[in-house]
Amino acid sequence: MQVDTVYRRLRELIVAGEYPPGERLTEAAVSEALTAGRTPVREALRRLEGDGLVLCAGRGVVVHALPPEHLDHAYEVRAALEALTAGLAAERQRIGRLAPAALADLERDTLLLEEVTASGDLDNAIVLNRRFHRSVAELGGNPIALETLDRLWDQIIVSTRESLTHPARPERGEAVAAEHRDLVRAIVQGDRPRAERVAGDHVRATRATLT
């Protein structure tokens, strides 16, 4: 198994909560679990350490959760970047650069996320929520912002999964749905200032529910 394959698979398992924060991962254990050689596993773990998802801990690594103060910083950066990408998406829509099919897909995903959240399937809702925000970032057309957001989203999900699957404020789901709809509406209308404002406020409101 190649390094890239091992890296992607291990990253998916960590973000999905299969390896929770604090769990120790050794080359031997990961090699056995993924049926991969020790060398690609070693390189994959190094890359994951660079992503901030694991920390070196003697023989092996441990899955890393951001401490509260670092989580605050992560959300500040996420709010700024999501405001940027949402604004860029709205601007691209205003000048006719977005395909109608892409906007239709975004609207469909918004409704699907609402249905899944309402059903109580919060693990699947986490996946769909990530897909929604990533779609907005993709529409913004800035690959550096998208790459940075991917790393931030991974760290945030790993660090807050327990809160996301056992929310202290269940009513937040309805507010999130309304904020998503408002964001999509701003993008469809090509309203860059409003898209930036809604996207940034949405991220900050999400952080507030986790304190």
CATH code, domain with 73: 1.20.120.530
| 28 and 120, same domain (yes or no) | no
| 95 and 172, same domain (yes or no) | yes
| 87 and 155, same domain (yes or no) | yes
From first to last of its 211 residues, the chain has per-residue pLDDT tens of: 799 999 999 999 999 999 999 999 999 999 999 999 999 999 999 999 999 999 998 888 999 999 999 999 999 999 999 999 999 999 999 999 999 999 999 999 999 999 999 898 988 999 999 999 999 999 999 999 999 999 999 999 999 987 777 765 666 778 999 999 999 999 999 999 999 999 999 999 999 988 6
| 19 and 36, same domain (yes or no) | yes
| 100 and 185, same domain (yes or no) | yes
Task: Name the domain boundary from 47, 63, 79.
Answer: 63
| 42 and 130, same domain (yes or no) | no
| 56 and 73, same domain (yes or no) | no
| 121 and 49, same domain (yes or no) | no
Phi, psi of 25, deg, nearest 5: -120, 125
| 174 and 97, same domain (yes or no) | yes
Q: Which residues contact 45 (CB under 8 A, 6 or more apart)?
A: 10, 25, 27, 30, 54, 60, 61
Number of domains in the chain: 2
Task: Name the domain boundary from 63, 90, 108.
Answer: 63
Task: Name the domain boundary from 63, 83, 107.
Answer: 63
| 113 and 173, same domain (yes or no) | yes
- Structural domain including 45 reads 3-63
What is the model's pTM? 0.91
| 55 and 148, same domain (yes or no) | no
pLDDT in tens, 23-34: 999 999 999 999
| 91 and 192, same domain (yes or no) | yes
Q: What is the CATH number of the domain that holds 45?
A: 1.10.10.10
pLDDT in tens, 119-146: 989 889 999 999 999 999 999 999 999 9
